[in-house]
Structure 1
Amino acid sequence: MQFRLIIRILGLLLMVFSLSMLPSAVVSLIYDDGAHNAFVLGFLLVLCAGFIMWYPVRNRRKELRTRDGFLITVMFWVVLGVAGSVPLSLAPSVDLTYTDAFFESFSGLTTTGSTVITGIDSLPKSIQFYRQQLQWLGGMGIVVLAVAVLPMLGIGGMQLYRAEIPGPMKDSKLTPRIAETAKALWYIYLTLTIVCALAYWAAGMSFFDAIAHSFSTVAIGGFSTHDASIGYFDSATIEMIAILFMILSCANFGLHFAAWHSKSISHYLKDPEYRFFLFIAFGLMALASLVLWGTHTYNLSDSARYGMFVSVSLLTTTGYGTADFSTWPLFLPFLLFMASFVGGSAGSTAGGMKAIRVLLILKQGMREVKRLIHPTGVFPVKIGKRPVSNRVVESVWGFFSVYIMAYALIFFGLLATGLDFETTWSAVGSSLNNLGPGLGEVALNYGSIPDTAKWLLCFAMLLGRLEIFTLLVILTPQYWRK
């Protein structure tokens, strides 16, 4: 293990991350909200910490190995969560314990969207902006951004890219050079953010709210500058814009790249995973709307409006709200919450297990049924017209098995803290899927649950963000053996 090289990279990335606190300091000065000292001091502390880590090993230059990439990825997210919590801990207007500050920071960076803060509307504008910015940076993954600059530092980046990009098939790159791939991802991400912000602004949001909500929409994060979330604006137009960009952000960013490169949207319709995701999305929207209307919860137009928005928000693991879905009738709260286990496409900013894995599990299940009927038959699993190797299918089932076991362990851990069954079940699922809202005590926020439960949920957020194996690999004895 090349610990000196790992420390050097972490130091460099911490110094880069410290710069992210300066825009919030500027926002604080513009709105004169008195929180600028927290961001300036946070910037200096994180910058100095990064410099102290980097300086003694600054001349250490070697090629990263795969196992180094796993450790850097995990350690950077942990270190980043600590660094991101510094301004929240220092800001007197927020008044958070360190546990709550770390939870808020980590929830933002992992794009989970769970919050311990109440009275968001009355927060200083700089704190509001900082929370949104954390989600935007975490959406694509700061590690992927770093991949674009690591080659300039004499360090190869493919190992980090493989560890960070979500999904079962991680060997594809948009461009031949990994640095160019990372840059292409961020150009697409930035373009979507700008277009989303302009659309929100045109629909009636203030310029500040438009930027803030474009950050969390494209990141599939769910943080808002208002306690009522998107429901604060009470605008069907804004909700439709949010639905559009949530669905777009749940596409594999490789599809965005291909569509931009060929100037054609046909790639979206040809991709089997995205078609499967859209099938689930539109089916869920229709079902939720019909149930709300059929049970006389709302009139026809409101049933369609709320049913569509909440369905997409939970399926994509964004977690925005326009209505309290936990009070909806029949099976809807549980169905909509379970939809978050599917999530978006691999290679997107969404959480969940990813649509491609669910599709492969269904196809593998159908293959087993066919084998029972025709024991000697050969039935390859295909995505579109392309056969999928048994190695990929096995990895998907392995992921699903470990996912269920991780869910169960964290679930029992949370029950041991005294939380009720409904709260525990939904909080673990929400954190593991990087969703945000839950049921029971965590339907509105996570401030009332015990500190031990919050740390367990932070661990679940990290598992979900790194898709379980990246984190579990470094916890195995085999990883540390030479």
Structure 2
Amino acid sequence: MHFSVVQRILGVLLMLFSLTMLPPMLASLWFGDGELIGFTDGFILTLGLGLAIWAPVRRRHQELRVRDGFLVVVMFWTVLGLTGALPFMLSESADMTITDAIFESVSGLTTTGATVIIGIDHLPRSILYYRQQLQWLGGMGIIVLAVAVLPMLGIGGMQLYRAETPGPMKDSKLTPRITETAKALWYIYLGLTVSCALAYWGAGMTPFDALGHAFSTVAIGGFSTHDASIGYFDSTLIEMIAVVFMVLSGVNFALHFLVVRRRSLGIYLGDSEFRLYIATLGLVTLMVVVALYGMGIYSDWSEAFTQGLFQAVSIGTTTGFTTTDYSLWPGVISILLLFTSFIGGCAGSTGGGIKVIRFLLLIKQGMREINRLIHPSAQIPIRVGDKTIPRRVVEAVWGFFALYVASFTVMYMALAFTGLDLMTAFSAVGASINNLGPGLAGVGANYASLNDTAKLILCFAMLLGRLEIFTLLVLLTPAFWRK
């Protein structure tokens, strides 16, 4: 373990992150909302901390190994969550405790979208912008951004990229150089963000709301500049624009890259994960729409369709936008939507959840075991498209699923022990580990009523989900620390 190179990279990344507080400072000056001092202090403290970490080892240059990459990623996201909380803690308008500030920061950076703030409409504009920006930066991962723009990380870039990028198949690069790969991902991410912002603006949002909601839509985050979320605008056009960009952002960004490079939309339909992703969202939408109309929640088919489609896509992609409080719908619909978030988006997307490709492999593995009961001696490979999946990948998926279930159970019981009712505890853990945001029962609207212990447990769940279980839990094993 090369602790000096880990320390050097962590310092550089913190100094880089401190620069992200400059736009909110400019926003505070522009709107004159009195938050300039808080953001300035946050910038100075974060920059100073990064400098203090980097300076003692600035001349140490060693190759970054795989284990070093995992440590950098986990330490960075942890420290980032803490330093990202500084503007919330230093803001007099937000009036947040340390725990609440950390919760809001971690929720934003992990693109979870759970909030402890009541009265979002009354927050200063610069704070509102900062919340949205946190999600946008966390969406693709600021680690990937650092790999794209900092040549000094070039030699160890692949280790950071593999540790941070979600999904079971991380070794395939879009371009020969990892720096070019990260840049390609960010160009697509930026292009979707700009297109989404322009579409929102054209549909009637103010430029401020359009930019803020574009940040959280493409990041699959769910933070909004209003308490009523997308429902504030009461516009079917805006809701449908959100649906389109939520679906696009839940697709593997490598697939977007191939479509752009080869100029063929047929590449989408040729991808097994994409087909299952669309089929899942379509089936859930159909079930929700029929249930909403059949149970008399909406008496008009068009309203049932728009409400059902929006919530199915928003929850299914783990975005977490709402047009109504879906937790107040009949229990069977709410639970169906929550369970859909466990599947989540595609690997290599900004979505959360277990990921569609893993569910596809789990289904295929289950079918293979059934066939083996009938033909014990048969050699039955698992295929996705025209590729045979290596045994190692299938084993990793099963390992991920086992750790996911075990982690979920432990945190669920821990929340229950803090005094939460079982439905609140279950949905809170599910919404956090899947990076969804809104839950059911006591966390349907926000997380403000939870005790500090529960909030910290959920912060861990958010990080666990964002870093896809293995990246975080590997640091808790004795083998990781052995020489």
Shorter chain as denominator, the TM-score bin is over 0.9
User: How big is each residue's C-alpha offset from its partner over 1:308-343, in whole Å with a ceiling of 9 and x where there is no partner?
Assistant: 000000000000000111111251100000000000
- Match of 1:196? 196
- Match of 1:251? 251
Cα 1:442–1:277 shift into 2, 3 Å: same
Cα 1:196–1:452 shift into 2, 3 Å: same
Alignment of 1:15-34 (within 5 A): 15-34=15-34
Alignment of 1:138-149 (within 5 A): 138-149=138-149
Structure 2, gaps ≥5 residues long: none
User: How big is each residue's C-alpha offset from its partner over 1:104-155, in whole Å with a ceiling of 9 and x where there is no partner?
Assistant: 0000000000000010000000000000000000000011111123433564
1:107 aligns with 2:107: yes
User: How big is each residue's C-alpha offset from its partner over 1:324-364, in whole Å with a ceiling of 9 and x where there is no partner?
Assistant: 11111251100000000000100000000000000110111
- Match of 2:84? 84
Instruction: State the number of aligned residues.
Output: 482
Please tell me whether the aligned partners of residues 147 and 153 of structure 2 are also in contact (alpha carbons under 8 angstroms). no
- Match of 1:449? 450
- Structure 2: distance between partners of 1:203 and 1:480: 53
- Match of 1:70? 70
Structure 1, gaps ≥5 residues long: none
Alpha-carbon shift at residue 72 of structure 1 (Å): 0.3
Query: Secondary structure of 2:450's match?
Result: coil
- Match of 2:232? 232
- Structure 1: distance between partners of 2:430 and 2:156: 35
Please tell me whether the aligned partners of residues 107 and 113 of structure 1 are also in contact (alpha carbons under 8 angstroms). yes
Query: Secondary structure of 1:157's match?
Result: helix
Amino acid at match of 1:36: L
- Match of 2:269? 269
Amino acid at match of 1:351: G
Alpha-carbon shift at residue 385 of structure 1 (Å): 2.1
Identity %: 61
Question: Which runs of structure 1 show a deviation greater than 6 angstroms over 4 or more consecutive aligned residues?
Answer: none
Please tell me whether the aligned partners of residues 154 and 179 of structure 2 are also in contact (alpha carbons under 8 angstroms). no
Alpha-carbon shift at residue 41 of structure 1 (Å): 1.0
- Match of 2:403? 402
1:429 aligns with 2:430: yes
- Match of 1:369? 370
- Match of 1:459? 460
Alignment of 1:109-124 (within 5 A): 109-124=109-124
Amino acid at match of 1:175: T
- Match of 1:131? 131
- Structure 2: distance between partners of 1:396 and 1:184: 27
- Structure 2: distance between partners of 1:349 and 1:150: 22
- Structure 2: distance between partners of 1:258 and 1:330: 41
Please tell me whether the aligned partners of residues 117 and 447 of structure 1 are also in contact (alpha carbons under 8 angstroms). yes
Amino acid at match of 2:325: D
- Match of 1:288? 288
My pick for the range that moved more, 28-37 or 238-247, is 28-37
Q: C-alpha root-mean-square deviation of aligned residues, in Å?
A: 0.9
- Match of 2:11? 11
- Structure 2: distance between partners of 1:203 and 1:264: 28
Amino acid at match of 2:141: G
- Match of 1:324? 325
Alpha-carbon shift at residue 236 of structure 1 (Å): 0.5
- Match of 1:210? 210
- Structure 2: distance between partners of 1:234 and 1:407: 36
Please tell me whether the aligned partners of residues 147 and 154 of structure 2 are also in contact (alpha carbons under 8 angstroms). no
Amino acid at match of 2:23: P
Please tell me whether the aligned partners of residues 166 and 467 of structure 2 are also in contact (alpha carbons under 8 angstroms). yes
Alignment of 1:54-65 (within 5 A): 54-65=54-65
- Structure 2: distance between partners of 1:391 and 1:480: 23
Please tell me whether the aligned partners of residues 128 and 225 of structure 2 are also in contact (alpha carbons under 8 angstroms). yes
- Match of 1:176? 176
Query: Secondary structure of 1:341's match?
Result: helix
- Match of 1:46? 46
- Structure 1: distance between partners of 2:99 and 2:194: 33
- Match of 2:473? 472
My pick for the range that moved more, 451-460 or 258-267, is 258-267
Alpha-carbon shift at residue 297 of structure 1 (Å): 0.6
When the two structures are superposed, what TM-score results if normalisation uses the length of structure 1?
0.99
